[in-house]
Amino acid sequence: MDALENGGLSPESIDAAFDEIRKDDLDWSAGRCFAYVFSAGEDVGAVAKRAYTAFMTENALDPTSFPSLVRMENEVVQIAAELAHGDAAVGNFTSGGTESILLAVKTARDHGRAERGIERANIVVPDSVHPAFHKAAHYFGLDVTSVPVRKDFRADPAAMAAAIDENTVLVVGSAPSYAQGVIDPIPELAAAAADRGTLMHVDACVGGFFLPFLEQAGHAVPAFDFRVPGVTSMSLDLHKHGYCPKGASIVMYSDPDLRRYQLFSHTRWAGYGITNATVQSSRGGASVAAAWAVLRYIGADRYRKLQTEVRACVLDLCNGVNAIDGLHVLGEPDGSLLAFSSDSLDVFSLVDAMREKKWYIQPQFGHDHVPKSVHLTVTPINVPHRDAFLADLAQCVAELRVSTSQDSPPADPMAAMAAAFVSGQLSIPDAVSAIGADPARTAGDSAAINRVLDALPAEHAEAVLREYFHQMYASS
């Protein structure tokens, strides 16, 4: 169905088409998907849908035309600021964590240029930082100094302090980092940034609406927000543990004057004067209305309950994983994320084995001293299924151990393929084809593909992934 029908389709035909189109999608509603979707229940979804449709035609491009959107955005930002203890903080609603991070990096670049005369700026990050910071630097012409994390997978404050130079405009820490779910030592990082007169950003896209409610419920949470001297900006995703529809995030600044460097305006054309608070110009009102409604509907008491239940599930999963011979959790996760690895089994094959049992868990490549691993994002919809998950995980581990011991390992073609690609004997499109990466396929034997990508040098793995996605979005 790629041609536009002359007469259009009936609503019933469209519904039927949706059923066919989504037949290969992950069934997140069954609670067996540990990634991508954050659901707090069908009732929350119903409230979000009502609010979304109520404001789906309004446009925040001109806030004077739709003051309702300005009011809701300001109120949502104020809720986030109170959770982050930002008494004077200001911010804006964005389309997601990446846009929030883009704006924070752009603000730091422009602030460094205006206040410190820096023309070629850099940011200092732990190598566990979200790739959105590398994307922002790529887009905006900054250099990135990426510092290895400690053995506990947290940022190394001494090494990061040593990496700060006269052109550093931003130091970054995570609360928590995505890959291992641990909170970086934010007070030490912020102190190092302040000592050198540079800004400090906390990426709390995952933790921003999780950790505060956990702390309110009596759990010990490491310091990470605007209470920490030297923290100048934060990103917090509403569409993660705020349980709002995609895409919804907040970028905030402790000093209102910093936000001025985020804004863009233009009058040098024969059209209307334009000022944008975020990357986008036209901004639909649906996402901010849905976020406003979900926050108000759930309320603080239920947020505390939801986040406490998720945290208990994470601890149970950590204990359960560590009890399975051959598996171990990486580090000591602080929030709703965890990762585990194995010294004796191929974790990529384990991911595929669990997929056969209708579980979706996320494979992660190794980097530096961090081994390849399996990642879990735990949300309320996963909580009732922890025991079933651990039982299937233990069974898959046992079966993989038997098959690994019985089968004589064949010659692994991965090293040869990687060498051929790096030497130029294998082109990027040929590499995508050779590893069996079919852009039209959404599931199947992904372990072999992940083993190749994990074996390749990063710049070559990235080239293969770009080609894969290029072909995916060009496929009919």
Output phi, psi for 126, to 5 deg: -75, 155
Residue 440: pLDDT above 60? no
Closest CA to 180 of 128, 242, 107: 128
| Number of helical H runs and strand E runs in the chain | 15, 13
State the pLDDT at residue 134.
97
**355-400 pLDDT tens trace:** 999 999 999 999 888 999 999 999 999 999 999 999 999 999 999 9
What is the C-alpha to C-alpha distance for residues 227 and 126, in angstroms, rounded to an integer? Answer: 22
Q: For 436, left (φ over 0), alpha (ψ -120 to 50), or beta?
A: left
**197-211 pLDDT tens trace:** 999 999 999 999 999
Asked if 175 contacts 184 with a C-beta cutoff of 8 angstroms, the reply is yes
The domain defined by 51-294 carries CATH number 2.30.40.10: no
What is the C-alpha to C-alpha distance for residues 222 and 219, in angstroms, rounded to an integer? Answer: 10
Place of tokens 């609360």: 175
**448-473 pLDDT tens trace:** 778 878 878 888 888 888 887 887 77
Neighbour count for residue 191 (Cβ, 10 Å)? 17
**2-40 pLDDT tens trace:** 678 888 889 999 999 999 989 888 889 899 999 999 999
Neighbour count for residue 322 (Cβ, 10 Å)? 11
Both structure tokens of 390: 């651990």
Neighbour count for residue 466 (Cβ, 10 Å)? 12
Residue 432: pLDDT above 80? no
Residue 409: pLDDT above 50? no
Region(s) of the chain under CATH 3.40.640.10: 51-294
Rounded percentage of the chain residues whose pLDDT exceeds 90: 76
What is the C-alpha to C-alpha distance for residues 22 and 377, in angstroms, rounded to an integer? Answer: 22
State the pLDDT at residue 1.
54
What is the C-alpha to C-alpha distance for residues 363 and 466, in angstroms, rounded to an integer? Answer: 18
Q: How far is CA 198 from CA 171, 172, 224, 232, 289, in A?
A: 7, 11, 17, 9, 35
Residue 220: pLDDT above 80? yes
Q: What is the rounded average pLDDT of the residues 120-148? A: 97
- Please enumerate in sequence order all residues whose Cβ is within 8 A of that of 218, keeping only pairs 6 or more positions apart, or say none: none
Count of residues making up the chain = 476
State the pLDDT at residue 410.
45
Residue 253: pLDDT above 70? yes
Residue 114 buriedness (CB in 10 A; 0-12 / 13-18 / 19+): exposed
Residue 437: pLDDT above 80? no
Task: Kindly indicate the confidence band of residue 418, based on its pLDDT and cuts at 50, 70 and 90.
Answer: low
Q: What is the rounded average pLDDT of the residues 426-442? A: 58
Mean pLDDT lowest for which of 224-228, 277-281, 302-306?
A: 277-281
Asked if 174 contacts 184 with a C-beta cutoff of 8 angstroms, the reply is yes
Both structure tokens of 106: 């752009």
Residue type, 456: L
Task: Kindly indicate the confidence band of residue 238, based on its pLDDT and cuts at 50, 70 and 90.
Answer: very high
CA end-to-end distance (rounded Å), the chain: 9
Q: Which H/E stretch holds residue 68?
A: helix 67-83
Closest CA to 104 of 115, 117, 90: 90
State the pLDDT at residue 405.
59
Beta strands in 153-295 (DSSP E): 168-174, 199-203, 233-237, 249-253, 264-266, 274-276
Higher pLDDT, 445 or 323: 323
- Please enumerate in sequence order all residues whose Cβ is within 8 A of that of 104, keeping only pairs 6 or more positions apart, or say none: 136, 170, 201, 233, 235, 251
What is the C-alpha to C-alpha distance for residues 65 and 162, in angstroms, rounded to an integer? Answer: 49
DSSP category for residue 33: B
